[in-house]
Amino acid sequence: MGKVTGFMEFQRVGETYEAPVARKKHYKEFILSLSNDEAKTQGARCMDCGIPFCNNGCPVNNIIPDWNDLVYRGAYHEALETLHSTNNFPEFTGRICPAPCESACTLGINSDPVGIKSIEHFIVDKGWENGWIVPQPPLVKTGKKVAVVGSGPAGLAAAQQLARIGHDVTVFEKSDRVGGLLRYGIPDFKMEKSHIDRRVEQMEAEGVTFRTGVLVGKDFPANVNNWAKKTIAPDELKAEFDAVVIAGGAEQPRDLPVPGRELKGVHFAMDFLPQQNKVNAGDKVKDQILAGGKHVVVIGGGDTGSDCVGTSNRQGAVSIQQFELMPQPPELENKPLVWPYWPTKLRTSSSHEEGCDRDWAVATKRLEGKNGKVEKLIAARVEWKDGKMQEVPDSEFEMKADLVFLAMGFVSPVAQVLEAFGVDKDARGNAKATTDGDACYKTSVDKVFAAGDMRRGQSLVVWAIREGRQCARAVDEFLMGASVLPR
Ligand SMILES: Cc1cc2nc3c(=O)[nH]c(=O)nc-3n(C[C@H](O)[C@H](O)[C@H](O)COP(=O)(O)OP(=O)(O)OC[C@H]3O[C@@H](n4cnc5c(N)ncnc54)[C@H](O)[C@@H]3O)c2cc1C
Ligand code: SF4
């Protein structure tokens, strides 16, 4: 519980960020973890509220009050063990989780919430620094073989849990490197990729085999990244493995069907972001999409759009404008109304702080250009009445645009992958499977399970880790009749 009077004595102190001018010059992480003293007083702010809503607010149910207390007492190794008991990859979430736990913190009702995410970051970094994070190979092998399709956080969490309990796990990934959107989506300045490499090493030592550059299935849409050099038919996997987990994410991007969409210079965010991550990894990218010297317009106000802003700034864009269709949310939430839930409020990311103009309730009407290349975007203001969007009369305006990034979210998993496996889809086009009951995470096809964005639709890394862990238990129960893996 930290210190009894800690929440009255200590103010919240956040992590330190390198200044925007300096950090825009590179692609490295720029957040400095808390010092030992800072972590101690931040942990001390946890006030033993009785019912730790934070633990429910966290999708992996991190046992937050316990590790807050352990950090306050300097018991870092125990804090790490507690953290790892619910989360395979706290160095990912400690960096890029939006921290719904903090919205649920009881102290947050009338004060600043405990800086839970920064404490998580501190604990796991301490673990790596001190060499406490080592492979945990199984003591006994079961002789059962499991295939995991997709190496994002859901696939990785499922694979690690299944390998540690003794199954032979092979992860199939169509990209050239492991990590899913952690690798080729989330920019390096939010999370450096060495964190993934370290976990891959650990998992290999625990017995996981990674096969990259392999697409499971056959047909794949041209507008989704696919660097596979080889394909494997789902039937082959089903024949060779005792169970298959499909964790292929929700990669089908939402398009913008307006006149001029076909012009050069109009790209999906996921055409742009992975290229820079590849270059950072030392690859050569032919005809890289570059924002340097250009007027950039980002359509879509979420995380992906914000990552386009940060990357465009680092590439030297002349101007960056981000548009969002929905109205501007309030600066502050109405706490008594929304606590302990995740509130709708204005969120300014570190990429926004580095420079960009944002505008809300704006709909793009068309894109225009010369010689097949985009030059301007024509938009109009909209308002929402009775849940319906209406254009504000005489509100049309235009804006210079040399590059337009479409970052309006993802509609579903790639349908062809689900169809190749023959699994039923839900109403939103995701793999149909429940998360509770005897058949949890099971698809309509025998011995095929689904987890992460492929099952729940576009979501968060922490939800993917939760689903990967829970799916691993379901697979283990299916293979062995019972499981000691956590629910
Ligand atoms: C640009 C961007 C930024 C984001 N930022 C954040 C953030 O800051 N914080 C946060 O919590 N969440 C963020 N998200 C969301 C988060 O990344 C996802 O919710 C999460 O990665 C989903 O994990 P997953 O394992 O289900 O799928 P993914 O990470 O999408 O991984 C799926 C993997 O499966 C592979 N695959 C798919 N089909 C096949 C096939 N047929 N054969 C072989 N391999 C296949 C894909 O290549 C991919 O590597 C962001 C998303 C994007 C796009
Ligand atoms: S994983 Fe996310 S929600 Fe859970 S404790 Fe960490 S920051 Fe909070």
Q: Within this chain, do residues 31 and 84 fall inside the same structural domain, yes or no?
A: yes
26-83, pLDDT tens digit by residue? 999 999 999 999 999 999 999 989 899 999 999 999 999 999 999 999 999 999 999 9
Average pLDDT, the chain: 97
Q: Within this chain, do residues 298 and 389 fall inside the same structural domain, yes or no?
A: yes
**Residue at 100 is within a domain:** yes
Q: Within this chain, do residues 187 and 107 fall inside the same structural domain, yes or no?
A: no
Q: Is the minimum distance from the CB of 459 to ligand 1 under 6 angstroms?
A: yes
Q: Within this chain, do residues 375 and 426 fall inside the same structural domain, yes or no?
A: no
Q: Within this chain, do residues 453 and 308 fall inside the same structural domain, yes or no?
A: no
**Pair 154, 182: CB distance under 8 Å:** no
**Residue at 137 is within a domain:** no
Q: Within this chain, do residues 281 and 404 fall inside the same structural domain, yes or no?
A: yes
Residue 294's domain comprises 255-408
144-199, pLDDT tens digit by residue? 999 999 999 999 999 999 999 999 999 999 999 999 999 999 999 999 999 999 99
Rounded to whole angstroms, the Cα distance separating 381 from 363 reads 6
Q: Within this chain, do residues 390 and 429 fall inside the same structural domain, yes or no?
A: no
**Residue at 134 is within a domain:** no
Extended beta strands in 386-440, E state: 388-391, 397-400, 403-406, 410-412
**Which pLDDT score, from 0 to 100, does residue 195 have?**
98
**Residue at 283 is within a domain:** yes
Q: Is the minimum distance from the CB of 403 to ligand 2 under 6 angstroms?
A: no
Q: Is the minimum distance from the CB of 68 to ligand 1 under 6 angstroms?
A: no
**Which pLDDT score, from 0 to 100, does residue 345 have?**
94
Max alpha carbon distance in the chain (Å)? 71
Q: Is the minimum distance from the CB of 307 to ligand 1 under 6 angstroms?
A: yes
Q: Within this chain, do residues 267 and 373 fall inside the same structural domain, yes or no?
A: yes
CA of 462 from ligand 2 middle (Å) equals: 7
Give the residue, out of 33, 56, 62, with the most ligand 2 atoms within 8 A of its beta carbon, to mutate for a pocket test: 62
**Which pLDDT score, from 0 to 100, does residue 487 have?**
86
**Which pLDDT score, from 0 to 100, does residue 86 have?**
98
Q: Is the minimum distance from the CB of 153 to ligand 1 under 6 angstroms?
A: yes
Q: Within this chain, do residues 248 and 302 fall inside the same structural domain, yes or no?
A: no
Of the residues 76, 98, 129, the one at which a domain ends:
129
Find the CATH number of the domain harbouring 54.
1.10.1060.10
Rounded to whole angstroms, the Cα distance separating 169 from 143 reads 10
Q: Within this chain, do residues 402 and 277 fall inside the same structural domain, yes or no?
A: yes
Q: Within this chain, do residues 262 and 380 fall inside the same structural domain, yes or no?
A: yes
Domain count, the chain: 3
Alpha-carbon distances, residue 172 vs 156, 168, 279 (angstroms):
11, 13, 23
**Residue at 486 is within a domain:** no
Q: Within this chain, do residues 24 and 48 fall inside the same structural domain, yes or no?
A: yes
Q: Which atom of ligand 1 is nearest to the CA of 414?
A: 38
**Residue at 55 is within a domain:** yes
Give the residue, out of 156, 186, 270, 471, with the most ligand 1 atoms within 8 A of its beta carbon, to mutate for a pocket test: 186
Residues 6+ apart with CB under 8 A from 324: 300, 301, 305, 358, 359, 360, 361, 362
478-487, pLDDT tens digit by residue? 999 999 999 8
Tokens of 11: 């103010």
**Residue at 138 is within a domain:** no
Residues 6+ apart with CB under 8 A from 120: 62, 67, 83, 90, 93, 94
The number of angstroms, rounded, from the C-alpha of 198 to the middle of its chain's C-alpha atoms is: 18
At 455, is the pLDDT very low, low, confident or very high (cuts 50, 70, 90)?
A: very high
> Average pLDDT of 399-423?
97
Of the residues 76, 96, 129, the one at which a domain ends:
129
What are the backbone angles phi and psi of residue 82, rounded to the nearest 5°? -65, -45
pLDDT at position 353 over 70: yes
**Which pLDDT score, from 0 to 100, does residue 1 have?**
67
**Which pLDDT score, from 0 to 100, does residue 3 have?**
86
pLDDT at position 400 over 70: yes
> Average pLDDT of 448-453?
98
Q: Is the minimum distance from the CB of 68 to ligand 2 under 6 angstroms?
A: no
**Residue at 166 is within a domain:** yes
Of the residues 105, 129, 153, the one at which a domain ends:
129
Find the CATH number of the domain harbouring 432.
3.50.50.60
341-351, pLDDT tens digit by residue? 999 999 999 99
What are the backbone angles phi and psi of residue 419, rounded to the nearest 5°? -65, -35
Rounded to whole angstroms, the Cα distance separating 153 from 93 reads 10
**Which pLDDT score, from 0 to 100, does residue 219 have?**
87
> Average pLDDT of 419-442?
96
Pairing of strands 357-359, 295-299: unpaired
What are the backbone angles phi and psi of residue 273, rounded to the nearest 5°? -60, -45
221-266, pLDDT tens digit by residue? 999 999 999 999 999 999 999 999 999 999 999 999 999 999 999 9
